[in-house]
Amino acid sequence: MWVNSLWEGFVAGYDGDRDAPRDPDAAWGRMYRDGVSIVQTDEPEALLRYRATLR
């Protein structure tokens, strides 16, 4: 599943790029747990750092 996390509130029910670097587990972590495998983001470095913490 592909999700665009650009802009605040762009994806209903998910935090967007504005909140993700501050609390990546609440934003990207939730997407990951919900089965999202592709994320469009303006914060690719932060997403990669977070992804490296996942098992």
Which ranges constitute the DSSP H helices of the chain?
Answer: 24, 30-33, 44-51
**Distance (Å, whole) CA 33 – CA 37:** 10
Q: What are the tens digits of pLDDT across the range 6-46? A: 876 566 777 788 888 899 998 899 999 999 999 999 999 99
- If you search the block for the tokens 């587990």, which residue do you land on? 25
Task: State both tokens at 52.
Answer: 């490296």
Q: What are the tens digits of pLDDT across the range 9-18? A: 566 777 788 8
